[in-house]
Protein backbone atom coordinates (compact mmCIF):
# COMPACT_ATOMS: atom_id res chain seq x y z
CA UNK A 1 0.00 0.00 0.00
CA UNK A 2 0.95 3.66 -0.31
CA UNK A 3 1.15 3.94 3.48
CA UNK A 4 3.59 1.02 3.71
CA UNK A 5 5.66 2.50 0.87
CA UNK A 6 5.85 5.84 2.69
CA UNK A 7 6.87 4.02 5.87
CA UNK A 8 9.60 2.13 3.99
CA UNK A 9 10.93 5.34 2.41
CA UNK A 10 10.91 7.04 5.83
CA UNK A 11 12.90 4.24 7.50
CA UNK A 12 15.32 4.14 4.55
CA UNK A 13 15.87 7.88 4.96
CA UNK A 14 16.52 7.48 8.71
CA UNK A 15 18.96 4.62 8.02
CA UNK A 16 20.87 6.61 5.39
CA UNK A 17 21.01 9.62 7.71
CA UNK A 18 22.39 7.45 10.51
CA UNK A 19 25.15 5.99 8.35
CA UNK A 20 25.96 9.46 6.99
CA UNK A 21 26.32 10.72 10.56
CA UNK A 22 28.49 7.73 11.44
CA UNK A 23 30.74 8.50 8.45
CA UNK A 24 31.04 12.12 9.54
CA UNK A 25 31.96 11.21 13.08
CA UNK A 26 34.38 8.58 11.82
CA UNK A 27 36.45 11.46 10.49
CA UNK A 28 37.20 12.71 14.00
CA UNK A 29 37.22 10.51 17.04
CA UNK A 30 36.81 13.12 19.76
CA UNK A 31 33.46 14.84 19.41
CA UNK A 32 33.57 16.01 23.07
CA UNK A 33 36.22 18.13 24.77
CA UNK A 34 36.69 19.69 28.20
CA UNK A 35 38.49 22.99 28.73
CA UNK A 36 39.69 25.25 31.51
CA UNK A 37 41.48 28.55 31.64
CA UNK A 38 41.70 32.05 33.05
CA UNK A 39 42.22 35.62 32.03
CA UNK A 40 41.39 39.27 32.55
CA UNK A 41 38.05 41.07 32.59
CA UNK A 42 37.13 44.69 31.90
CA UNK A 43 33.64 46.10 32.45
CA UNK A 44 31.88 48.82 30.47
CA UNK A 45 29.23 50.23 32.79
CA UNK A 46 28.04 53.50 34.33
CA UNK A 47 31.20 54.13 36.37
CA UNK A 48 33.60 55.07 33.62
CA UNK A 49 37.02 53.96 34.89
CA UNK A 50 37.25 50.20 34.55
CA UNK A 51 39.71 47.97 36.40
CA UNK A 52 41.34 44.86 34.95
CA UNK A 53 40.31 41.93 37.13
CA UNK A 54 40.59 38.13 37.05
CA UNK A 55 38.17 35.36 36.03
CA UNK A 56 38.46 31.61 35.51
CA UNK A 57 36.30 29.28 33.44
CA UNK A 58 35.36 25.67 32.76
CA UNK A 59 33.73 24.54 29.52
CA UNK A 60 32.53 21.49 27.63
CA UNK A 61 32.09 21.36 23.85
CA UNK A 62 30.64 18.88 21.41
CA UNK A 63 31.47 18.84 17.71
CA UNK A 64 28.69 18.67 15.12
CA UNK A 65 31.24 18.67 12.29
CA UNK A 66 35.03 18.90 12.71
CA UNK A 67 34.63 22.71 12.62
CA UNK A 68 31.23 23.49 14.17
CA UNK A 69 30.66 23.05 17.89
CA UNK A 70 28.08 23.66 20.59
CA UNK A 71 29.00 23.94 24.23
CA UNK A 72 28.43 25.28 27.72
CA UNK A 73 30.77 27.57 29.66
CA UNK A 74 30.87 28.54 33.33
CA UNK A 75 32.76 31.59 34.61
CA UNK A 76 33.70 32.84 38.07
CA UNK A 77 35.37 36.19 38.39
CA UNK A 78 35.37 39.84 39.35
CA UNK A 79 34.24 43.02 37.61
CA UNK A 80 34.94 46.48 39.02
CA UNK A 81 35.10 50.16 38.08
CA UNK A 82 35.16 53.59 39.70
CA UNK A 83 34.35 57.21 38.97
CA UNK A 84 32.48 60.27 40.31
CA UNK A 85 33.61 59.46 43.89
CA UNK A 86 31.86 56.09 43.54
CA UNK A 87 32.99 52.52 42.94
CA UNK A 88 31.69 48.97 42.67
CA UNK A 89 32.81 45.32 42.68
CA UNK A 90 30.78 42.45 41.28
CA UNK A 91 31.98 38.96 42.22
CA UNK A 92 29.96 37.37 39.45
CA UNK A 93 29.11 33.83 38.40
CA UNK A 94 28.16 33.21 34.77
CA UNK A 95 26.83 30.26 32.79
CA UNK A 96 25.96 30.24 29.09
CA UNK A 97 25.47 27.98 26.09
CA UNK A 98 27.15 28.84 22.80
CA UNK A 99 27.77 27.76 19.22
CA UNK A 100 31.00 28.33 17.30
CA UNK A 101 31.91 27.97 13.63
CA UNK A 102 35.55 27.64 12.54
CA UNK A 103 37.17 28.87 9.37
CA UNK A 104 37.89 25.31 8.25
CA UNK A 105 34.18 24.87 7.57
CA UNK A 106 34.57 27.22 4.59
CA UNK A 107 38.01 26.18 3.32
CA UNK A 108 38.65 23.65 0.54
CA UNK A 109 39.81 20.86 2.84
CA UNK A 110 39.87 17.12 2.04
CA UNK A 111 36.59 15.33 2.71
CA UNK A 112 38.42 12.75 4.79
CA UNK A 113 39.34 14.55 8.00
CA UNK A 114 41.91 11.89 8.91
CA UNK A 115 43.94 12.62 5.77
CA UNK A 116 43.72 16.34 6.46
CA UNK A 117 44.85 16.18 10.09
CA UNK A 118 47.83 13.95 9.20
CA UNK A 119 49.01 16.01 6.26
CA UNK A 120 48.19 19.61 7.12
CA UNK A 121 50.91 21.96 8.30
CA UNK A 122 50.77 23.74 11.65
CA UNK A 123 49.78 27.07 10.08
CA UNK A 124 46.96 25.47 8.07
CA UNK A 125 45.54 23.74 11.14
CA UNK A 126 45.64 26.96 13.19
CA UNK A 127 44.02 28.91 10.33
CA UNK A 128 41.26 26.31 10.03
CA UNK A 129 40.53 26.60 13.77
CA UNK A 130 39.97 30.36 13.95
CA UNK A 131 36.35 30.76 15.05
CA UNK A 132 33.50 33.12 15.82
CA UNK A 133 30.58 32.29 18.05
CA UNK A 134 27.64 33.54 20.05
CA UNK A 135 25.58 32.33 22.96
CA UNK A 136 23.01 33.09 25.62
CA UNK A 137 23.00 32.55 29.36
CA UNK A 138 22.74 34.15 32.78
CA UNK A 139 24.95 36.20 35.08
CA UNK A 140 24.56 35.94 38.87
CA UNK A 141 25.45 39.25 40.52
CA UNK A 142 27.17 39.75 43.85
CA UNK A 143 27.52 43.54 43.87
CA UNK A 144 29.12 45.76 46.49
CA UNK A 145 29.07 49.43 45.60
CA UNK A 146 29.59 52.88 47.08
CA UNK A 147 27.55 55.57 45.34
CA UNK A 148 28.21 59.24 46.03
CA UNK A 149 24.97 61.13 46.86
CA UNK A 150 25.71 63.79 44.24
CA UNK A 151 26.21 61.11 41.56
CA UNK A 152 23.04 59.34 42.68
CA UNK A 153 21.11 62.58 42.32
CA UNK A 154 22.39 63.10 38.77
CA UNK A 155 21.46 59.51 37.83
CA UNK A 156 17.93 59.88 39.18
CA UNK A 157 17.41 63.28 37.59
CA UNK A 158 18.28 61.72 34.23
CA UNK A 159 15.65 59.00 34.69
CA UNK A 160 17.94 56.28 36.06
CA UNK A 161 17.95 54.56 39.42
CA UNK A 162 20.20 52.93 42.00
CA UNK A 163 19.16 49.29 42.05
CA UNK A 164 18.24 47.41 45.22
CA UNK A 165 18.79 44.09 43.39
CA UNK A 166 22.48 43.49 44.07
CA UNK A 167 22.41 39.67 44.11
CA UNK A 168 20.00 38.79 41.33
CA UNK A 169 20.33 37.23 37.89
CA UNK A 170 20.45 38.92 34.52
CA UNK A 171 20.52 37.87 30.88
CA UNK A 172 23.97 37.63 29.27
CA UNK A 173 24.65 37.46 25.53
CA UNK A 174 28.31 36.51 24.90
CA UNK A 175 30.03 36.99 21.53
CA UNK A 176 33.25 35.06 20.89
CA UNK A 177 36.25 35.27 18.60
CA UNK A 178 39.31 33.09 19.08
CA UNK A 179 41.38 30.16 17.95
CA UNK A 180 42.38 26.66 18.98
CA UNK A 181 46.05 25.73 18.52
CA UNK A 182 46.21 21.92 18.08
CA UNK A 183 48.96 20.01 19.87
CA UNK A 184 50.17 16.72 18.44
CA UNK A 185 49.30 14.86 15.26
CA UNK A 186 47.33 11.62 15.10
CA UNK A 187 45.04 9.91 12.61
CA UNK A 188 41.98 11.25 14.42
CA UNK A 189 43.12 14.75 15.30
CA UNK A 190 45.01 16.26 18.24
CA UNK A 191 44.21 15.24 21.79
CA UNK A 192 45.11 18.66 23.22
CA UNK A 193 44.69 22.27 22.13
CA UNK A 194 45.64 25.67 23.46
CA UNK A 195 42.69 28.07 23.33
CA UNK A 196 42.85 31.87 23.03
CA UNK A 197 39.42 33.49 23.31
CA UNK A 198 38.06 37.03 23.38
CA UNK A 199 34.52 37.30 24.72
CA UNK A 200 32.31 40.39 24.75
CA UNK A 201 29.19 39.86 26.88
CA UNK A 202 26.16 42.13 26.49
CA UNK A 203 23.96 42.62 29.59
CA UNK A 204 20.57 44.03 28.51
CA UNK A 205 19.31 44.43 32.10
CA UNK A 206 21.98 47.11 32.69
CA UNK A 207 22.63 46.05 36.27
CA UNK A 208 26.21 44.84 36.51
CA UNK A 209 27.12 47.72 38.87
CA UNK A 210 23.85 48.40 40.69
CA UNK A 211 23.26 51.54 38.62
CA UNK A 212 20.48 51.32 36.02
CA UNK A 213 20.77 53.99 33.36
CA UNK A 214 19.93 54.42 29.69
CA UNK A 215 22.91 52.46 28.32
CA UNK A 216 23.44 48.70 28.32
CA UNK A 217 26.26 47.32 30.48
CA UNK A 218 28.77 44.89 29.02
CA UNK A 219 32.11 43.32 29.87
CA UNK A 220 35.03 41.84 27.97
CA UNK A 221 36.99 38.72 28.90
CA UNK A 222 40.31 37.76 27.30
CA UNK A 223 41.39 34.27 28.32
CA UNK A 224 44.01 31.60 27.74
CA UNK A 225 43.11 27.97 28.29
CA UNK A 226 43.71 24.35 27.44
CA UNK A 227 41.34 21.76 25.95
CA UNK A 228 41.41 18.00 26.34
CA UNK A 229 39.61 15.85 23.76
CA UNK A 230 37.81 12.85 25.26
CA UNK A 231 37.05 9.39 23.95
CA UNK A 232 40.35 8.93 22.17
CA UNK A 233 40.20 6.15 19.58
CA UNK A 234 43.46 4.25 19.05
pLDDT at 112: 61
pLDDT at 1: 57
pLDDT at 35: 96
pLDDT at 221: 98
Chunk the chain into consecutive blocks of 10 residues (it has 234) and report each block's average pLDDT, rounded to whole numbers.
53 50 47 93 94 97 89 98 96 98 83 61 81 98 96 92 94 97 71 94 95 92 94 55
pLDDT at 126: 82
Cα separation, 115 vs 56, whole angstroms: 36
pLDDT at 95: 98
The answer to whether 198 and 77 are in contact (CB under 8 A) is no
| Phi-psi region at 138: left, alpha or beta (left = phi > 0; alpha = psi -120 to 50) | beta
pLDDT at 56: 98
pLDDT at 120: 65
Amino acid sequence: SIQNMKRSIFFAFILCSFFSLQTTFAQFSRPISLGAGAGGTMVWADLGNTDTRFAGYLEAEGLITPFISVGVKGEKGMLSAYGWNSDFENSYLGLHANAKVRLGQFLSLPENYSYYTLGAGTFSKILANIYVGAGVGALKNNINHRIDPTYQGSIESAGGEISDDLNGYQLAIPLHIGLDIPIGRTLYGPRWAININYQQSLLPKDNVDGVINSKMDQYSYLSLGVKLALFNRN
